């Protein structure tokens, strides 16, 4: 399998960005559609996943059944809109050092009423369908609620995959911070969006961002000679609706991803 004449393996990274529930569904549908066409994003030499992208990346990279996720498995908590507004207002305060802004968001995360932490982790395990890291390189991001520092985990970090993914998608106001070695962690998107910099030095990078139409595209990673960007098309944006956390939009968003896969594969110039 080649991408623009290059082997779709060690020379390629796939970066999967954040996107809430609807973005998660779209990513999974897109991946399912591509896989049905013989294009498996998990064959890349590196997968970077943040928040929604961590969920989709874990399912992809471990060879999970994407079709079973066409329907939202189990009830999902809708984010508290008031707390979400407070989070983004704090992060957007130009008078605050970014790390201090994240620390303040961390305090919001610690006091927000959500489901118990163990329930959140169990839900993520059920969603991803596995507890084991893939054999191929994969990076999952999160943010330390106390220090505000972004962290990156892989299979050598000693963190179980469902725990890492649960931390990466622990958006304040929707899900609780997740404990790792006595410290608490929250959504990786708060520490740098899609974290494209983690693919620095990889020749070809495929960046898939569910919310690029709302927040703009992430910067290209340093050293990349080819960057292919995939974002929701107009039909997918309509399927998302106005609220990225709306669980009723899961199935339409998933199907929009499936429908967009053919066009995405064409732009990737993938051949078998």
Each residue's pLDDT tens digit, 115-150: 899 999 999 998 898 789 998 899 999 999 999 999
In a domain, 49, yes or no: yes
Range of the domain at 211: 15-75+114-270
Percent of the chain with pLDDT over 90: 65
pLDDT band at 26 (very low <50, low <70, confident <90, very high): very high
pLDDT band at 29 (very low <50, low <70, confident <90, very high): very high
In a domain, 109, yes or no: no
In a domain, 104, yes or no: no
Report the pLDDT averaged over residues 86-90: 86
- In DSSP notation, 41-109 reads GGGSSEEEE-THHHHHHHHHHTT--SGGGSS--S--PPP-HHHHHHHHHHHT-TTS-HHHHHHHHHHHH
The token pair that represents 21 in the structure block: 């529930």
Each residue's pLDDT tens digit, 247-263: 999 999 999 999 999 99
Computed over every residue of the chain, the mean pLDDT equals: 89
Between 233 and 78, name the one with better pLDDT: 233
In a domain, 32, yes or no: yes
Whole-prediction pTM value? 0.91
Return the SS3 of 208. Answer: strand
Question: What distance in Å separates the CA atoms of residue 269 and residue 8, rounded to the nearest whole number?
Answer: 11
In a domain, 6, yes or no: no
In a domain, 97, yes or no: no
**pLDDT above 70 (res 81):** yes
Each residue's pLDDT tens digit, 174-199: 899 999 999 999 999 999 899 999 99
**pLDDT above 50 (res 106):** yes
- Check residue 5 and give its pLDDT: 34
Q: List C-alpha distances in Å: 155 to 28, 133, 161.
A: 22, 6, 8
- Check residue 75 and give its pLDDT: 63
Specify the number of domains making up the chain. 1
**Catalytic residue IDs:** 51, 187
In a domain, 178, yes or no: yes
In a domain, 2, yes or no: no
């Amino acid at each position: 399998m080649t991408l623009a004449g290059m082997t779709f393996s060690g020379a390629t990274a796939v970066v999967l960005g954040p996107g809430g529930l609807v973005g998660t569904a779209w990513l999974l549908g897109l991946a399912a559609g591509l896989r049905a066409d013989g294009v498996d994003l998990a064959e890349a030499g590196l997968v970077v996943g943040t928040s929604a992208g961590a969920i989709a990346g874990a399912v992809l990279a471990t060879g999970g059944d994407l079709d079973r996720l066409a329907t939202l498995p189990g009830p999902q908590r809708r984010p508290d809109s008031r707390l979400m507004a407070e989070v983004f207002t704090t992060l957007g305060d130009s008078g605050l050092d970014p790390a201090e802004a994240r620390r303040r968001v961390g305090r919001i995360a610690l006091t927000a009423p959500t489901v118990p932490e163990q329930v959140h982790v169990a839900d993520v395990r059920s969603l991803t369908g596995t507890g084991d890291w893939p054999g191929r390189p994969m990076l999952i991001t999160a943010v330390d609620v106390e220090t505000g520092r972004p962290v990156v985990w892989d299979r050598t970090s000693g963190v179980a995959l469902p725990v890492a993914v649960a931390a990466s998608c622990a958006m304040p106001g929707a899900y609780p911070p997740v404990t790792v070695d006595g410290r608490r962690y929250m959504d990786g998107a708060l520490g740098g969006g899609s974290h494209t910099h983690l693919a620095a030095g990889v020749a070809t990078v495929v960046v898939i961002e569910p919310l690029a139409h709302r927040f703009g595209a992430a910067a290209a990673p340093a050293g990349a000679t080819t960057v292919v960007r995939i974002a929701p098309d107009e039909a997918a944006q309509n399927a998302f609706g106005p609220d990225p956390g709306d669980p009723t939009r899961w199935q339409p968003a998933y199907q929009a991803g499936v429908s967009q896969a053919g066009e995405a594969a064409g732009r990737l110039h993938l051949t078998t």
